[in-house]
Structure formats: structure tokens, C-alpha cells
Chains A and B, each alone.
Chain A
């Protein structure tokens, strides 16, 4: 079972037309497909993933790609993605605020 978000990156302009108002998690990347933000669309998100990704990408000029996962377990999945990023790079994505996290050491 994969624990990483390994879906294909989609260009933001294409993605915005495809996105729906589901709950879920997402990653935004720069033109080199380096993750610059990890986020989630939770119960308080207006228009779910579509709303969150549209608003964030409008405010992050370097965002060029996005990939997402629809899940009602957005809260634990979001923390997991943040922990995995921290395991891989020893830091948070550059546009994320620090949150309380545990630590993972996946194989």
C-alpha cells in the first residue's frame, strides 16, 4: 500500500476545470514539479478542493501544478503527507505554516 501521494501532476489551468467540491488533500508544485504547499479541503472549506486550490493557487504565483486525492479522512491524510515531506526533506514545504506533527520513518 502506497502512503505517498503519487498521482500525476496536472497543470493548474487544466485542473481548475476538473476539480469538484469534494473533501480531500492536495499538493501544489512549482514549474519544476517541486512541492511548495500541502493542503486539505475540510468541512469548513467553501467549495471543497475546488475552492481551496483555486484560492491558494491564485495567491501563490509560483504554483504551476497540482495533484489531489479525494478523501473524507482529510485530516489524518494531511498530517501524513506533511510527515512524509518532513521525512524526505527535513522541513515543511516552503509555503506551509508549522503545525504539530509526529514523525514517520517509512521503509
Chain B
């Protein structure tokens, strides 16, 4: 693997870095410490800028109007985009646009007209409904939401938990069991309009993240037409699994970006702060924290870029994606924790972003598959059939 950035990568990263420093960081001076949105005026202004940079809609395939950008560069951009207070869960406050639900690129033409294109135009929002109260780490077995065929329709009953954005979405991808005897081969993905009778957002689930919340959904005799099946009946788990694997790379990249920013702030701070007549930077205990941070950051970055490179080459990258997610989320937590320690009281105050990063980074070791599941995925890839 070539570890040197290309000229183009260098240019793109430079643009994004300037954008974060000149446009995003100044806005955060006036925002609440836990804010995850900017005003619509600021958003519109900044979206124009990302469009003029040629980087709007980063995750949209070029054939649908997105920029030509390879996965390694995309990962490097994600690292840059997260280097601000809200960066872990709201990188650049969404001003680079999103692809919405990537699974819709594989939808039927009719489904694309109804859901994909309006999403790309910013007219509709979707959510991803997989986890349930019965568990999220092993969705193939935990899914208890049931869909039963009735004529040309399906009747869905059940509930979902930890679902982001369902309260503001116009539609969602909902995974339901359509054959109770077939385990992971008995799950189907349905596209469901949120105004369908029987669709309920029952409550907000409050977590360590004050800025962003999850929701609990309930479906009561929700009737969905056959044409709203995404993919094939009983083949929904593959759709979910593909998404879970791909998502691990940008998830890791966000953690690395925040860790880089935290380390940068600590390196600026410790030569200025004096204790017992000398700068903190002269203390070996502080130097070692910075050294350990640097090693954590570099390790995470290389592993994540390797996963992106394998994905870009079209190779199996399950193991590398799981390693990236595991290493970057755990390393990111350690880096932010050490930086808080170096900043002392200021590190835990809401004046600085560390306390928010600390709370949000803790969730990263659980969200999108906990560390233990990542280790399980890696072991399965190493041992192959003998573990299965």
C-alpha cells in the first residue's frame, strides 16, 4: 500500500481542512455546546461552498450526480470533516450532503423514483430500522418484528429501538421476519412510509449524546404493499450486513478526526500551561500521554485506510473494516481521555469540546456493533469455517 498522498488527495484534504477551520469552527463559538444543527441560512450558504468545491454529495455515486472520489480519499476527507466540536456525529453539520440510504441505489426504478431521487434532492429523509429491544448485535436472530403476507400486501407488527432520525423521516427501511424457521435467511427489508397507519414513534431514547437522540418505534398492523420490498423476500439480511460492514470505515474515520483535533489542542496547550514553575510540556508524564496519543492515532489511521483501500479494490474487507472500527473507536476514547487529563478542570468543562467528545466517543464503542462483535467478526474471518 502506498502511504504517500497523491497530489489530488493533498489538494482535496487541504480544501476540506480550510473549510472546517474558516467556516465551521467560527460558527461553533456561538452555538450551544451540544448543538447538532446550524441555522438554515448558514447551511444554505455553506452548501453552496461545498458545491463549488465539487465535494457536495460525497457518498452519492457519480452516475447519480456525486463527485468522482475513491474510498481512500473519501476516508481522508471524513477524518478532516470531523475535526470540530460536533464533528463526531454531525461532521460539518451535514453541509457536504449525504447519500441517504445507500441501499436505495439497488432499488427498483419505481422505488428509486419514489424514495431515492427525492432523498438526493433533499426533499425526503429516510431512516434505517434494524435493531430491536431484543438486541442489536445479532440482528439476524434478534429480529422479532413480523411481516405476514395478505394478498398483495404485508402486515407488519413489532418494534424497533435505537433508531436515529425516524421522527423526522418520510420513510424508512424496516427489517422484518418473514420466515421464522430460516434465521438470517428469513428476514426481509421493507420500505415504509412514516405516514402509514400503524407506524408510531413512541418515544425518544435519551443517551450520553444530548445533541442527537434515538427513538423507539412501534408497528401495529402496518400494511405495506409488495412493491415496497427492497431486494427479495427473505434476502434482507444481506442488505443489512453490507451496510453494517461499509459503515464501519467512515465510523472509524470520524473517531480519528476527533482524536487528531484533541491531540492538536493538547500540543498547543501544554507548552503554555505551567505547574510548579515549569511548562506541562517538560513533564515526562505529559510527553508520554502525547506519544501514546500519536501512536493510537497513527495505528487507527493506517488500519482504516487499509480497509478503505481493500474496499476500493473490490476485495473482501470485512476483517479490515471490523479492525478499523474496533481500533479507532477504542483509540479515540483513550486519546480524548488523555487530553482531558492534560487540560485538567478545563477538560471537563463545557467551555471546551472534550467533554462532548468524551461522551460521544464512549458510544462509538457500542454503536454500529460493539467492540466484542468486531472481535467476533475478525475471529470468524481468521478461522473461517472451523468457527462457524
Which residue from chain A places its CB closest to the CB of B31 in the assembled complex?
A: A44
Q: Provide the residues of chain B in CB contact with A21, threshold 8 Å.
A: none
Q: Does A72 contact B (CB under 8 A)?
A: yes
Instruction: From B33, B168, B203, name the one whose CB has the most chain A CB atoms within 10 angstroms.
Output: B203
CB-based closest 8 A-B pairs: A102-B167, A43-B33, A43-B350, A76-B213, A102-B168, A75-B210, A73-B210, A42-B32
Q: A73-B207, A104-B203 are in contact. List 6 more A-B contacts (CB 8 A).
A: A42-B34, A73-B206, A75-B211, A77-B210, A79-B204, A102-B168
> Distance (Å) between the CB of A37 and the closest chain B CB?
18
Q: Does A90 contact B (CB under 8 A)?
A: no
Where chain A touches its partner, the secondary structure class is loop
CA distance A66 to B143 in the complex (A): 43
Chain A 66-107 against B: per-residue CB contact (8 Å), 1 yes, 0 no?
000000111111011001000000000000000011111111
Contact indicator B204/A75 (Cβ below 8 Å): no
Which residue from chain A places its CB closest to the CB of B208 in the assembled complex?
A: A73
Q: Provide the residues of chain B in CB contact with A75, threshold 8 Å.
A: 32, 34-36, 210-211
Contact indicator A74/B34 (Cβ below 8 Å): yes
Q: A44 with B33: in contact, given A75-B210, A76-B213, A100-B168 (CB under 8 Å)?
A: yes
Q: Provide the residues of chain B in CB contact with A32, threshold 8 Å.
A: none
Q: Provide the residues of chain B in CB contact with A1, threshold 8 Å.
A: 203
Q: Provide the residues of chain A in CB contact with B203, threshold 8 Å.
A: 1, 3, 80, 104, 106
Which residue from chain A places its CB closest to the CB of B168 in the assembled complex?
A: A102
Q: Does B141 contact A (CB under 8 A)?
A: no
> Distance (Å) between the CB of B146 and the closest chain A CB?
20
Contact indicator B210/A74 (Cβ below 8 Å): yes
CA distance A57 to B36 in the complex (A): 28
CA distance A44 to B209 in the complex (A): 17
**B residues in contact (CB < 8 Å) with A:** 32-37, 165-168, 200-204, 206-207, 209-213, 215, 350
Q: A103 with B167: in contact, given A73-B206, A74-B210, A79-B213 (CB under 8 Å)?
A: yes
Contact indicator A80/B204 (Cβ below 8 Å): yes
**A residues in contact (CB < 8 Å) with B:** 1, 3, 42-44, 72-77, 79-80, 83, 100-107
Q: Provide the residues of chain B in CB contact with A83, threshold 8 Å.
A: 167, 204
Contact indicator A43/B32 (Cβ below 8 Å): yes
A43 interface neighbour in B34, B37, B204, Cβ under 8 Å = B34
CA distance A1 to B216 in the complex (A): 13
> Distance (Å) between the CB of B36 and the closest chain A CB?
8
Which residue from chain A places its CB closest to the CB of B169 in the assembled complex?
A: A102
Which residue from chain B places its CB closest to the CB of A74 in the assembled complex?
A: B210
Instruction: From A42, A43, A44, A80, name the one whose CB has the most chain B CB atoms within 10 angstroms.
Output: A43
Q: What are 14 A-B pairs with beta-carbon distances under 8 A? A: A42-B33, A43-B34, A75-B34, A75-B35, A76-B206, A76-B211, A79-B213, A83-B204, A101-B167, A101-B168, A103-B167, A104-B203, A105-B201, A107-B202
> Distance (Å) between the CB of A69 and the closest chain B CB?
11
Which residue from chain B places its CB closest to the CB of A45 in the assembled complex?
A: B32
Which residue from chain B places its CB closest to the CB of A87 in the assembled complex?
A: B201
Instruction: From B166, B207, B213, name the one whose CB has the most chain A CB atoms within 10 angstroms.
Output: B213
Q: Provide the residues of chain A in CB contact with B166, threshold 8 Å.
A: 102
CA distance A105 to B210 in the complex (A): 21
CA distance A48 to B213 in the complex (A): 22
Contact indicator A3/B204 (Cβ below 8 Å): yes
Q: A106 with B210: in contact, given A75-B34, A83-B167 (CB under 8 Å)?
A: no
Contact indicator B212/A76 (Cβ below 8 Å): yes
